[in-house]
Amino acid sequence: MTDETLKSIDKATTELLEKAKKDEIGTVFSRAEQIKPCPVGLEESCCKICAMGPCRLPRTKKALQKERVGVCGATIDTIVARNFARRVAAGVASHSDHAREVAETFIKTARGESQGFSIKDEIKLMEVALDFGVEIENKEVKEIALDLGGRVLEEFGRQNGELRYVRKAPLKRQEIWKKFGVIPRGIDREVVEIMHRTHMGVDQDYHHILLQTTRCALADGWGGSMISTDLQDIMFGTPVPVLGSINLGVLKDDEVNVIVHGHEPLLPELLVVASKDPEIKALTEKVNAKGVNLAGMCCSANEVLMRHGIPCAGNFLQQELALVTGAVELMTVDVQCEMQGLQSVAECFHTRLITTSDRAKIEGATHIEFHPEHGFDTAKKILKLAIENYPNRRHEVYIPEYSQDIVAGFSHETINYLLGGLFRASYRPLNDNIINGRIRGVAGVVGCNNVRTIHDSGHITMIKELVKNDVLVLTTGCAAMACGKAGLLVPEAASKYAGSGLAEVCETVGIPPVLHMGSCVDNSRILIAATAMVKEGGLGDDIGDLPVAGAAPEWMSEKALAIGQYFVASGVYTVFGTTWPTMGSDRVTEHLFEEYEDMFKGMWAFEPDPVEGAKLMVSHIEKKRKALGIDKSRERVLFDMAMRRAIE
């Protein structure tokens, strides 16, 4: 018998796991017990690219070590690199297809063809328009938006040249990318080229395959993801710190519970507005519910939390458990990270599962397609369905009493203002406190949950270790939600968990030691924050010089690999937990873990133990501090005229 309490460090999760077990409801946790990971797949030493295979080449039989080649002669290095490349390409495609959907909606909004959307952040519109070379003088907002939207769409299909956002990176970084020929052309082109090069009998040199993998990943971080973030900010508002709450305890016994799950914030934005509509309110009263309680799941949760303070029901591994409460009238899903298992759990209750994207259906679920032209009507239709479903609750409702206050909404712009003030927005105070040693460095801890680890444990253990060592943590995705549940996203967490230097800075500025920066696509905000630190001066002239590190201790999705690869290619040392997908080839692993440091000043590491992972990050940060000559704590000296003369 398995002990459900050992599967998560989150009590709401374990309570519902026990309920699911008692009610004999299958979830990702119970299925993971029945299916053991395939050892050959785990090390990616299997090729099924052509029908002469599949060729399975595990490293088990010693005698075969030297001849680990497939039927066509492909070496284990080629096979492992190809598998890795394809997984990164899938991650890039996911973020970038999200970006395309947002860009198309943005253009329809500029044309006045969308229902319920508008341009909310005109300042950011102007900034991004200038990045894209749009002429803004004497032009109407809509005209600028239309011009920008057209240029953004060109980023996907461009055949030659360079992605525009690449120019936002520090000059030295751009030179490194140029040297290795990895500056992306068009986003789609880089994905297609990976699929071509990894077809049977094409690119069969792992160094060469991995360079294209890097180019493709950069098309995500400095392309698709950055486009999503910026256009979403323009349409829905750039996030500012907002108070919210998190965990399954945000569901309400006496309200119509609607969960938005997935990644694209388009429909969720309209559901927020529609939930306040008088007609919806009247219908809610008719069924004797106290209101519509909108809550988020996964990255959709992060998006609506950051902009509206809408509560988060939970992260990736909690999606089915939310339905196990018996309190959810309806869940909408669009794209990415939605388990097919949701439908069978929904069928155990009265819950309606609604697929909303033309790219994603789930067998058995109701499909109500979202199109921006009549987006608001669709949002209302969905809410009406949820309200009608409220009287159909047929099981006793069980909502665990756990919810935690959080502060989210730390966009790059917000950090800038918070640190420097509205009239002198700047990263100077952050850089100064890194130079004087109060803050040792900055870590981006991001990514998913993985049922092969203890839910949330990797994130929280690693992050506590980092902040204890005076490392400021930036977080996104499901990692951010884990932090929220563990009480790390409130200013009081600084005195409780942070080292004395970091705590002092956080208390002075009034920020938590862990800053929630948004959803998966918002990892691009971390790139921009790192670039701002370089541009502020005093910490080298490239992201690769900064005392920073990245990690995804509980990763599971291909998008996480794409994110990791663009972090590494941008100069960030990046540690992944759970499992590592190139273990089948020592040479590929060595290339990514060691040789990449010489090439890109950033490299991968794999460490399943989160404390050890944090130690690796801290020691990398200290290595960078030493290289910068700031390895010893020292106060910043303000030079007076006499001191300046003495130097001269």
The contact set with ligand MSK (CB under 6 A) reads 263, 298-299, 316, 337, 447-448, 477-478, 519-520, 557, 559-560
Residue 124: CB minimum distance to ligand MSK, A: 22
Given the complex with ligand MSK, which of 244 and 499 has the nearer CB atom? 244
Q: Assess 47 for contact with ligand SF4 (CB under 6 A).
A: yes
**Chain centre to alpha carbon of residue 287:** 38
Contact 555, 266 (CB under 8 A): no
Cis? peptide before 491, omega within 30° of 0: no
> H or E element: which one contains 621?
helix 610-628
Question: What is the rounded distance in angstroms from the CA atom of residue 492 to the CA atom of residue 503?
Answer: 9
**Binding at 520: pick from ligand SF4, ligand MSK, none (beta carbon under 5-8 Å per type):** ligand MSK
Q: Is 71 in the site for ligand SF4 (CB under 6 A)?
A: yes
Please identify, using beta-carbon distances, which residue of 81 and 266 lies nearer to ligand MSK.
266
Q: Binding ligand SF4 by CB under 6 A: which of 72, 119, 287, 368?
A: 72
Partner from ligand MSK, ligand SF4, none binding residue 176, C-beta < 5-8 Å depending on class: none
200 contact choice in ligand SF4, ligand MSK, none (CB below 5 to 8 Å, kind-dependent): ligand SF4
Q: Which is nearer to ligand SF4, 200 or 368 (CB)?
A: 200
Q: Which one of 9, 12, 20, 49 is in contact with ligand SF4 (CB under 6 A)?
A: 49
Distance CA 554, CA 535 (A): 32
Query: Which of 52, 123, 243, 643 contacts ligand SF4 by CB under 6 A?
Result: 52
CA 575, CA 561: separation in Å to the nearest integer? 11
Which ranges constitute the DSSP H helices of 132-264? 141-157, 171-179, 187-197, 206-219, 225-236
Query: In the beta sheet, which residues pair with residue 604?
Result: 574
Work out how close the CB of 367 gets to ligand MSK at its nearest, in angstroms, rounded to a whole number.
Answer: 21
Residue 40 sits in the site that holds ligand SF4 (CB under 6 A): no
**Nearest approach, Cβ of residue 257 and ligand MSK (Å):** 20
Name residues contacting ligand SF4, limited to 185-204 (CB under 6 A).
200
The first and second tokens of residue 184, run together, are 């992306």
Min dist CB 243 to ligand MSK, Å, is: 22
> Quick one: 348 or 481, whose CB is closer to ligand MSK?
481
Question: Which of ligand MSK, ligand SF4, none does residue 478 bind to, with CB < 5 to 8 Å depending on kind?
Answer: ligand MSK
Nearest to 326 by CA among 20, 9, 12, 11: 20
Separation between Cα atoms, residue 466 and residue 617, nearest integer Å: 8
Q: State the Cα–Cα distance between residues 301 and 251, nearest whole angstrom.
A: 13
Candidates 70-78, 103-111, 390-398, 479-487; binding stretch for ligand SF4 (CB under 6 A): 70-78
Residue with Cβ nearer ligand SF4 (199 or 276):
199
**Closest CB to ligand SF4 among residues 79, 603:** 79
Contact 316, 14 (CB under 8 A): no
Q: How far is the CB of 176 from ligand MSK (least distance, A)?
A: 28
Q: How far is the CB of 4 from ligand MSK (least distance, A)?
A: 21
Rounded to the nearest whole angstrom, what is the least distance from the CB of residue 372 to ligand MSK in the complex?
22
The dihedral formed by the CA atoms of 210, 585, 53 and 196, expressed in degrees to the nearest 10: 0
Closest distance to ligand MSK from the beta carbon of 519 (Å)? 6
User: For residue 3, what is the DSSP state?
Assistant: -
How many residues sit in the footprint of ligand SF4 (CB under 6 A)? 14
> Among candidates 553, 368, 549, 349, which has minimal Cα distance to 450?
553
> Which residue's CB is nearer to ligand SF4, number 126 or number 200?
200
How many other CB atoms are there within 10 angstroms of residue 48's CB atom? 12
Q: Does 368 bind ligand SF4 (CB under 6 A)?
A: no
Which residue type does 457 have? S
Cα–Cα distances in angstroms (integers) from residue 446 to residues 1, 85, 362, 519, 563, in the given order: 33, 21, 27, 9, 9
Q: Which amino acid is at 123?
A: I
Decide which of ligand SF4, ligand MSK, none touches 316; Cβ closer than 5 to 8 Å per partner kind.
ligand MSK
In terms of CB distance, is 289 or 474 closer to ligand MSK? 474
Give, in order, the Cα–Cα distances in Å from 94 to each of 65, 228, 251.
Answer: 36, 11, 30
CA neighbours closer than 13 Å in the CB half-sphere of residue 86 = 16
Among 10, 14, 44, 70, binds ligand SF4 (CB under 6 A): 70
The least CB distance from residue 216 to ligand MSK, in Å, is: 17
Contact partner, 543, from ligand MSK, ligand SF4, none, Cβ < 5-8 Å per class: none
Judged by beta carbon distances under 5 to 8 A according to partner kind, the member of ligand SF4, ligand MSK, none in contact with residue 6 is none
Burial 366-383 (b: 16+ CB within 10 A, else e): eebebbbeebbebbbebb
In the complex with ligand SF4, the residue whose CB is nearer, 153 or 583, is: 583
Least Å distance, CB 188 to ligand SF4, is 25
Q: Taken in order 238, 243, 247, 251, is the CA torsion positive or negative?
A: negative
Site residues (CB under 6 A) for ligand SF4?
A: 47-50, 52-55, 70-72, 74, 79, 200
